[in-house]
Structure 1
Amino acid sequence: MTPSMLVATVGGVGRLRPAPGTWGSLVALPALLLGREAVLVLAVLVGAIGWVAVSAVLRGRPAEDPGWIVVDEVAGMLVALAALPPDAGWIGAAVAFALFRAFDIIKPWPVSWADGLHGATGVMLDDILAGAIAAALLLLFGFVLPGVL
C-alpha cells in the first residue's frame, strides 16, 4: 500500500464495511482528549496532508470520490470536535458525531456545492464544511445552554 493510499484510507479504515465514512469519523473521536486547540491544529494538518494524499490517489480520475477514502471524514470530524468545550466529555462527542454525520450525509448547501467540485478539493472540502456547520451549531448550543455538553 502506497503512503498516499495509507493516508487516504486512514490506515485501511476506509476498507471497513459497512459505512466506511462512519468508521472514518469514529477514528477522530479520541482526539477530543487532546483539547480544543490541539484538535483544531490536528484538523488543519489532517486536512492538508489528506488533500495531498487524495490528490495523488485520484491522479487521472479527478471526478471520483470513492467511499474508501475516509481521511476527509477524519478532517471534518476533527473540525466539529474542535468546537466542543474542554469539559464536553463523550456526550458532547456523540452530539458532534451525530451532527457531523448528518451534515455529511444530507449535504445541505454549501456542503452540496463542495461535493460537486472535482478532485481532492471536492473530496476534502465537503466534509470540512460539514464539520464547520456542525461546529457552528455546537458553539451556538454551548452559548445558549452552557455546561450541557
Structure 2
Amino acid sequence: MDMLSVTPVPDVGAATLLVATVLGAGLVEPLRAGLALTIAFPLIVVFNRMGERPATGVALVVLAAAGWWAAEAWSAATGSSDDRRIVVDELVGVLAGAAIAGRMALVPLAVFSIAFLALDRLKPWPFSETEALPGGWGVMGDDLVVAIALGLAVRLVRLVWQRFA
C-alpha cells in the first residue's frame, strides 16, 4: 500500500487544473491542503516584506478571483460543489489571514497555519454557513471567513499584548 497517491484528474483545462489544485498539490493524497500551505509560505514572506500596502490587497483579490473562477469551472466539470482536490481556497485563505494578522516569524506563522487548517477542517458555526453558498462562492468563502476571523484574532491578541505587556 502506497502512503502517497495521485488522484485522478477530471476533464478540465490546464489553467483550471493548475489554479484549482495549486500547481497539482491538491492531487497528492493525503497531503493536499498541507502542500498548498507549504506553497503559500514563500508568498507570505513576500507579503510580509511588502507590508500593509494596497498591492497586497490587490494580489489577494486577484488570487481570490482566480480561485473562484477555477472552483466554478472545476465544480461544473465534476458536479461536485467542493471537491477536496480544490486547494486554492486554502492557499488564498491562509494568505489573507496572514496578511490581516501582520508580520509573523516562522514559528508563529506555522502555528497560525496549523490553526487555520484545524478550523478549516472543523468548520465550526458560523463559518460552516458559507459552504452553502453556490459554486466557487462556497468553496472560497468558507476558507476566507475562517482566515479573516483568525487573522483578526491574532491582530487583537497582539494589540492587547502590546498594551498590557
Q: TM-score, normalised by structure 1?
A: 0.86
Within the alignment, does 1:117 sit opposite 2:133 as a pair? yes
* Preserved contact between residue 43 and residue 76 of structure 1 (Cα < 8 Å): no
Q: Structure 2 regions of 5+ residues with no counterpart?
A: 1-12
Would the aligned equivalents of 1:116 and 1:122 in 2 still touch at CA under 8 Å? yes
Count of equivalent residues: 145
What is the alpha-carbon distance in structure 1 between the residues aligned to residue 34 and residue 146 of structure 2?
A: 14
Percent identical residues: 32
Q: In the alignment, does 2:118 pair up with 1:106?
A: no
Q: Equivalents in 2 of 1:60, 1:85: separation in Å? A: 37
Decide which of 44, 48, 66 is 2:83's aligned counterpart. Answer: 66
RMSD (CA atoms):
1.9
Partner residue in 1 for 2:8: none
In structure 1, what is the equivalent of residue 24 of structure 2? 12
**Structure 1 residues 57, 5: CA separation in 2 closer, same or farther (over 3 Å shift)?**
same
- 1:90 is matched with 106
Separation in structure 2 between the aligned mates of residue 92 and residue 39 of structure 1, nearest angstrom: 20
SS at match of 1:82: helix
- Decide which of 71, 74, 80 is 2:97's aligned counterpart: 80
Query: What SS does structure 2 have at the residue aligned with 1:3?
Result: helix
The answer on whether the counterparts of 1:110 and 1:129 sit within 8 Å (CA) in structure 2 is no
1:103/1:130 contact within 8 Å kept: yes
Q: Could you say which residue in structure 2 is the equivalent of 1:25?
A: 37
Quote the residue 1:133 is aligned against: 149
Residue 64 of structure 1: CA displacement?
2.4
Cα distance change on mapping 1:18 and 1:39 into 2, 3 Å: farther
- TM-score (normalizing by structure 2): 0.78
